[in-house]
């Protein structure tokens, strides 16, 4: 699919004939420098934006709008400040048909415990640290049990220590509850640490340039030697792509 | 404790200055009665119930006018924030009318409705509705779009989004708008009561008006004190808790 945005200097091709297939239960990381269309791609998959050309297919049917089968964790914090942590997690559950109040609470409890924040369930959003906010956002996205989880740089605003702890937690959660995950990042090592597959994008126009498979056993150690080898390889490829603009039409 | 002490001292000083001024003989006691005279009036008014009765009549009108103004202003603000057409038409009208001091409605109200409760209500509503509508409009427009997008991905649509996302998200601005609307309503009502001399109820504004006619300055000052006190009370009792709640929820970044 393709997508362009109007700007002062003519349209910007945010995505140029991008094609990506993701299998059920797969963890795919999208990596690329700022402005290569990662967020745009994720928004289109989420159904929040429409592509100019092409389409998104889920289980063979076209995606026409946002749906509870695809939850999003946004780049910036999108928690609702008028609700406490629990209320935020329950928000999406309240829109799921066939759940009574009790079940909703149980679900919300369960997912808050999973991200290690059960004690903070009545905390106001502003009382949570950046890392805790992202944990609540993760619980909120997981609670309605979507089939696909879309994460847009969920760790961008976290310090290194909190981030690495998060990698461990996310791997654990992913192994317990196998979900299809599409994660955007511009940290190559992070992508290699988390993904089954790492997809490289380059900007102007936004294109998919190369894909890497990471077949390391989980849980993966962020500082492991094997991981370093993989991420080094991907990093080199990324550098190459950024230096050489894509040949027209060749993909 | 210290704060209460400082506040108490401040008002004592104020009273002392007033007493000194009225004793200085610069103005006659008819024009500037001493605090004691005003206190006597207040005490008398409290004892014979005339003050309470007037405050009750005024309070009833205020509640009716304010609630009606809010009931119209809130949806109106929502509408102008969400619809381009409404914003270009009603929105502009609201902006214009908000700058109009509500006393200006009094002559029209008297011509249209005569010396009636309706005329008073009309002035109060006109004084309230536009400022609440504009505040709501601003509040709704200021809601970060990310909230709506997040809600949509969780399956929220239409009315649900409006009531469960847009409304609470705009609350900090809307509450401060409601507070401003209350101040406008209170002003409008005093103006209306001074201009519209109806016989169906004797409000605080009327007491003030007749105090002036009778050259009873102790009454004028006494009623003014009551008006200020009512204003402070509502601010503290109604908006104080609401604002505290918002601060607790939103934190310091609360707008
Ligand atoms: N709503 C929009 N209006 C205009 N241009 C846009 C819009 N959204 C994105 N763009 C443009 O499209 C391109 C891709 O943007 P996108 O946000 O998808 O990048 P990104 O890969 O997510 O970058 P980052 O890593 O900084 O988040 C950029 O050049 C951006 O300027
Ligand atoms: Mg982005």
All structural domains of chain A? 1-69+146-251 (3.40.50.300), 80-145 (no CATH)
Interface-testing mutation among A81, A124, A141, A147, with chain B (most B C-beta atoms within 10 A): A81
Q: Using the beta-carbon criterion (under 8 Å), do B155 and A124 form an inter-chain contact?
A: no
Mean pLDDT, residues B27-31: 83
pLDDT grade, residue B215 (50/70/90)? Answer: confident
Angle at A170 between CA A164 and CA A172, to 5 degrees: 110
Distance separating alpha carbons of residues B251 and B80, to the nearest angstrom? 28
Any domain includes B174:
yes
Any domain includes B22:
no
pLDDT grade, residue A248 (50/70/90)? Answer: low
Interface-testing mutation among A58, A77, A82, A90, with chain B (most B C-beta atoms within 10 A): A82
User: A with B: how many residue pairs have Cβ under 8 Å apart?
Assistant: 67
Distances (CA, A) of A82 to A73, A159, A208, B140, B168: 18, 26, 39, 15, 6
- Give residue A206 CA to ligand 1 midpoint distance, Å: 10
pLDDT the model gives residue A251: 41
> What is the domain extent for residue B89?
45-249
Ligand at minimal distance from the CA of A30 is: 1
Q: What is the pTM of this model?
A: 0.82
Any domain includes B231:
yes
pLDDT at A31 over 90: yes
pLDDT grade, residue A247 (50/70/90)? Answer: low
Q: Using the beta-carbon criterion (under 8 Å), do A124 and B153 form an inter-chain contact?
A: no
pLDDT grade, residue B196 (50/70/90)? Answer: confident
Return the residue of A nearest to B146 by Cα: A78
Any domain includes B36:
no
Query: What is the percent of chain A with per-residue pLDDT over 70, rounded to a whole number?
Result: 97
What digits encode the pLDDT tens for the residues A220-235? 888 989 889 999 998 9
Mean pLDDT, residues B17-35: 87
pLDDT the model gives residue B255: 45
pLDDT grade, residue B253 (50/70/90)? Answer: low
Whether residue A205 has a cis bond before it, omega within 30° of 0: yes
Any domain includes B20:
no
Return the residue of B nearest to A146 by Cα: B154
Residue A76 contacts B, CB cutoff 8 Å: yes
Mean pLDDT, residues A176-205: 91
Residue B33, φ and ψ in degrees, nearest 5: -70, 150
Ligand 1 proximal residues by C-beta, below 6 Å: A 5, 7, 12, 14, 32, 34-40, 75, 186, 206
pLDDT at A250 over 50: no
- Which residue of A66, A96, A126 is in closest CB contact with B152? A66
* Ligand 1 nearest atom to the CA of residue A40, by list position: 18
Mean pLDDT, residues B111-131: 91
Mean pLDDT, residues B46-57: 90
Any domain includes B180:
yes
Count CB neighbours of B135 within 10 A. Answer: 24
Distances (CA, A) of A239 to A37, A228, A236, B113: 17, 16, 5, 79
pLDDT the model gives residue B64: 94
Q: Using the beta-carbon criterion (under 8 Å), do A92 and B154 form an inter-chain contact?
A: yes
Whether B194 contacts B120, CB under 8 Å: no
The DSSP output letter for A246 is P
DSSP-based helix, strand, coil % in chain A, nearest 5? 40, 20, 45
Mean pLDDT of chain A: 89
Number of domains within chain B: 1
Any domain includes B32:
no
pLDDT the model gives residue A245: 67
Report which of B104, B141, B144, B146 is spatially closest to residue B126, judged by C-alpha positions. B104
Residues 6+ apart with CB under 8 A from B187: B102, B127
Mean pLDDT of chain B: 89
**Domain with B77 in it: what CATH number?**
1.10.3720.10
């Amino acid at each position: 699919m393709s997508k362009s945005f109007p700007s002062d200097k003519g349209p910007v091709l945010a995505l140029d004939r991008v094609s990506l297939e993701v299998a059920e239960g797969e963890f795919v990381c999208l990596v690329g420098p700022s402005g290569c269309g990662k967020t745009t791609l994720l928004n289109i998959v989420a159904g929040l934006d429409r592509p100019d050309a092409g389409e998104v297919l889920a289980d063979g049917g076209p995606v026409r709008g946002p749906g509870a089968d695809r939850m999003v964790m946004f780049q910036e914090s999108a928690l609702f400040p008028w609700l406490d942590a629990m209320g935020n997690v329950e928000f999406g559950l309240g829109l799921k048909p066939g759940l009574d109040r009790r079940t909703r609470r149980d679900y919300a409890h369960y997912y808050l415990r999973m991200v290690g924040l059960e004690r903070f369930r009545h905390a106001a959003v502003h009382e949570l640290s950046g890392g805790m906010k992202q944990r609540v956002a993760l619980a909120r996205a997981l609670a309605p049990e979507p089939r696909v989880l879309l994460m847009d740089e969920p760790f961008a605003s976290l310090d290194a220590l909190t981030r690495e702890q998060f990698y461990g937690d996310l791997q654990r959660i992913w192994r317990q509850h196998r979900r299809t995950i599409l994660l955007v990042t511009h940290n190559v090592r992070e992508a290699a640490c988390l993904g089954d597959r790492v997809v490289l994008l380059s900007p102007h126009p936004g294109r998919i340039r190369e894909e890497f498979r990471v077949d390391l056993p989980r849980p993966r150690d962020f500082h492991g030697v094997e991981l370093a080898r993989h991420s080094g390889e991907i990093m080199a490829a990324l550098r190459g792509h950024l230096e050489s603009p894509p040949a027209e039409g060749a993909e | 404790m210290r704060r209460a002490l400082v506040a108490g001292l401040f008002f004592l000083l104020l009273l002392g200055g007033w007493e000194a001024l009225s004793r200085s003989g610069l103005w006659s006691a008819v024009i500037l009665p001493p605090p004691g005279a005003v206190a006597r009036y207040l005490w008398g008014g409290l004892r014979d119930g005339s003050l309470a009765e007037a405050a009750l009549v005024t309070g009833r009108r205020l509640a009716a006018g304010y609630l009606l103004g809010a009931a119209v202003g809130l949806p109106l603000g929502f509408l102008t924030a969400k619809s381009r057409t409404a914003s270009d038409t009603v929105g502009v009208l609201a902006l214009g009318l908000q700058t109009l001091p509500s006393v200006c409605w009094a002559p029209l109200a008297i011509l249209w409705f005569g010396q009636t409760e309706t005329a008073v209500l009309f002035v109060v509503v006109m004084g309230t509705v536009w400022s609440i509508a504009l505040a709501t409009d601003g509040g709704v427009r200021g809601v970060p779009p990310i909230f709506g997008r997040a809600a949509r991905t969780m399956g929220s649509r239409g009315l649900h989004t409006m009531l469960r996302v847009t409304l609470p998200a705009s609350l900090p601005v809307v509450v401060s708008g409601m507070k401003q609307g209350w101040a406008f309503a209170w002003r409008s009502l005093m103006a209306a009561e001074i201009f519209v001399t109806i016989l169906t109820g004797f409000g605080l504004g009327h007491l003030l008006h007749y105090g002036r006619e009778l050259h009873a300055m102790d009454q004028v000052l006494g009623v003014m004190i009551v008006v200020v006190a009512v204003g402070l009370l509502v601010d503290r009792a109604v908006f104080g808790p609401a604002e505290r709640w918002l601060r607790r929820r939103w934190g310091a970044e609360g707008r």
